[in-house]
Amino acid sequence: MMENDKAIGVKAEREPTVYIVDDDLDMRDSLQWLMKTVGLRAEVFPSASSFLASFKTGGAGCLVFDVRMPGTGGLDLYEELVARGEGMPVIFITAFADVPMAIRAMKSGAIEFVEKPFNRQSLLDRVQRAIKNDVERLRQKADRDAALRRFRLLTDKEREVLALIKEGQPNKAISAALGITPRAVEMRRAGLMKKLGARNLAELFRLSIEAESATDKNLGDDR
């Protein structure tokens, strides 16, 4: 990994946090204590507005939202986060489970829907699984973003060579297609491999896929 790419993993490696939003004080305290029993960092909030005022995206974690709260409920809160581009997994907790609510929760991207009273160990297992998934999500995003930054270092001439390499063209064919000498092809090829940090074609193709994925994701976020 390149030196300037190491910083990309910092956010993913930051201590995971469980964000608990529930208007019931006893429930907040109970859930925070429960998370701490297994060494999980937990932050608690009495309302959606208080959570949004202090929540900063970037690190790995898990959201635990009460569905029904005064003002903005858990489902509306999560849909607001999704609209902002937040992909952290969520566990919805409610004492008023019903089918339409569960369906809406799942469509919004929720990984779990838990009815009170719940089994504490079961909830902990779900939270820890959610955090593990989120750490992996951020790692993959960091890899894609790092690959994209490397590709942006390429010159137009190097990009031309790369496009033909990806088509499976040998140096001789690339030389003929671009009207340059085989030596020039070798030099451009060596230059782009060095900039991308690719030791072989397999790594080159992997980085290319990651960069394209990051580009597609960024375009999707801009729509």
DSSP string, 46-108: SSHHHHHHH---SS-EEEEEES--SSS-HHHHHHHHHHTT----EEEEESS--HHHHHHHHHT
Q: How many C-alpha atoms does 223 have within 13 Å on its Cβ side?
A: 6
Give me the helices (H) in the chain, please: 3-6, 8-13, 25-37, 48-54, 74-83, 99-107, 120-151, 156-166, 171-178, 182-196, 201-222
Whole-model pTM: value is 0.74
DSSP 153: T
How confident is residue 147, by pLDDT bands cut at 50, 70 and 90?
confident
Mean pLDDT along residues 66-70: 89
State phi, psi for 154 to the nearest 5 degrees: -70, 145
Q: Give percent of the chain with pLDDT exceeding 90.
A: 49
Lowest mean pLDDT among 74-83, 175-184, 206-215: 206-215
* Residue 28, C-beta contacts closer than 8 angstroms, at least 6 positions apart: 20, 22, 44, 45, 46
30 versus 57: the higher-pLDDT residue is 30
Both tokens assigned to 164 = 């033909």
pLDDT band of residue 39 (cuts 50, 70, 90) is very high
Q: Which domains does the chain have, with CATH numbers?
A: 3-140 (3.40.50.2300), 152-222 (1.10.10.10)
Answer whether residue 5 shows pLDDT above 50. Answer: no
Q: Answer whether 66's CB lies under 8 Å from 93's CB.
A: yes
Of 3-7, 31-35, 137-141, 209-213, the range with the highest mean pLDDT is: 31-35
65: exposed, middle or buried (C-beta count within 10 Å: 0-12, 13-18, 19+)? buried
201: β partners: none
Instruction: Give the pLDDT of residue 223.
Output: 43
Tens digit of each residue's pLDDT (9 = 90 or more) over 151-185: 888 999 999 999 999 888 999 999 999 999 999 99
